[in-house]
Structure 1
């Protein structure tokens, strides 16, 4: 029943149901949906029939086929479009306005498995930034490390979801979510058209650039804003500050003599 286990989970996530919502539609307990998806229990024949009817598929397909494999884009299509097409899971407020979900450091590892799961996204902290407007979907990621200095570790990067990766301009700072690297913040140099690769650069010159194949990429979010509790340190020594003050005093004396 391995196909049934993966197919129930795949169908639920594709439509965007939570486990509770699917259980309600099937008139069964929510805990049963979790048990089916984890392979801890097998659905009754009547439940399988109801699932097939709900998602408008044949019972044979539900039991014998791997439905997730049938809906994955071919590598050639991913390379041509610059992205793997899928439904983006979001949350909205009481006025049906999209929230900005925050992926903190402690949740970034789980994001690779939960980015398409409505229940996982629902559990993330969320907020709104009116100054970003309504043109796009935004998500926030807490970053770690010093590869993008002067943006410090612990800074929250707010990114706008990029649907077509081939449109990304060279040097654009982005959050890249990939199976190989996890969640990283880098500047992208776009090599999709020529080699189906993204070249990722750090602002800190101590870190070397590297390439990532687009088949490994799950999501890209173009950085549009950041939130940090660390203020940049002004590069002004006491000597430099004294020199600036002295120059200003000289300019003032010149102005007075001119009068």
Structure 2
């Protein structure tokens, strides 16, 4: 019988790692790691090699003998400290609304368990703020081949209800109602919010502000294609420079 399960549990104890954290180090699922520790499943050889190499433990020792804390420390003197000494950057984990889960989100967006189960993006933005990602699925915010197109992703920061009326007109927002999600520019007037598309052929939508369940102000955009960021600026500058040289030559 292999001692692998007992030994990786001992390593986790020494390293003060949760099953989830340990599993992520080696691209494993937490349930898979639990099965290893309980002896219900045996790991693949490449997994054994990865773990042995990572902690500088001979494979034979990892599999054939029960390791002690002292023996672990002999294998790697800094076993209990080297992980903690590494500065680990924390990215914000952002739940993502997709075409597949939109209907469910409308029903269960106020349930923490549902939100925790949504697909996520991890991005280098402020992890202390509440963000929501949304996959664009229409052309409402496009205009003359510019703007947002299907499969682009926008990231919105949560706006509390008491701040709604302080939003500046024209801000791009994602508004959540009982029966729909609307990604448009907002214009506030009294107790009414008007949502306006950039596409010229789409009519405005108007709602009482009290009908908004959630409001997310768009802070970041991730394009599904490379956008024309320069908007022809280089070509325009080159043309102006050529015209200037002609004028200069004629003086």
- The TM-score range, normalised by the shorter chain, is 0.5 to 0.7
Higher RCO, 1 or 2 (CA under 8 Å, sep at least 6)? Answer: 1
Question: Is the counterpart of residue 160 in structure 1 residue 157 in structure 2?
Answer: yes
In structure 1, list runs of 5 or more residues that go unmatched.
1-93
Q: Is the 8 A contact 1:143 1:184 kept in 2?
A: no
The CA distance in 1 between the partners of 2:250 and 2:150, in whole Å, is: 52
Show the counterpart of 1:103. 97
Q: 1:213 to 1:229 in 2, by over 3 A?
A: same
Pick which of 121-130 and 104-113 moved more. 121-130
Query: Could you tell me how far 1:208 is from its partner in structure 2?
Result: 1.5
Query: Could you tell me how far 1:186 is from its partner in structure 2?
Result: 0.8
Query: Could you tell me how far 1:171 is from its partner in structure 2?
Result: 1.1
Deviation by residue 1:114-154 (Cα, 9 ceiling, x = unmatched):
21222221221223322x32462111011211111121122
Query: Could you tell me how far 1:253 is from its partner in structure 2?
Result: 6.0
Query: Could you tell me how far 1:174 is from its partner in structure 2?
Result: 0.2
Q: 1:235 to 1:159 in 2, by over 3 A?
A: closer
Show the counterpart of 2:107. 113
In structure 2, list runs of 5 or more residues that go unmatched.
1-87
Question: Is the counterpart of residue 173 in structure 1 residue 172 in structure 2?
Answer: yes
Q: 1:98 to 1:256 in 2, by over 3 A?
A: same
**Corresponding pairs, count:** 156
Q: 2:195 aligns with which of 191, 200, 204?
A: 200
The CA distance in 1 between the partners of 2:149 and 2:91, in whole Å, is: 30
The CA distance in 1 between the partners of 2:112 and 2:246, in whole Å, is: 68
Query: Could you tell me how far 1:247 is from its partner in structure 2?
Result: 4.6
> Which one has the largest radius of gyration?
2
Q: 1:168 to 1:135 in 2, by over 3 A?
A: farther
**Higher helix residue share:** 1
The CA distance in 1 between the partners of 2:115 and 2:239, in whole Å, is: 57
Q: 1:246 to 1:139 in 2, by over 3 A?
A: closer
> For residues 230-245 of structure 1, what are the structure 2 equivalents within 5 Å?
230-233=225-228, 245=238
What's the RMSD between the two structures over aligned residues?
A: 3.1
Deviation by residue 1:99-123 (Cα, 9 ceiling, x = unmatched):
2111111111110112122222122
Q: 1:140 aligns with which of 133, 149, 167?
A: 133
The CA distance in 2 between the partners of 1:153 and 1:207, in whole Å, is: 16
SS at match of 2:100: helix
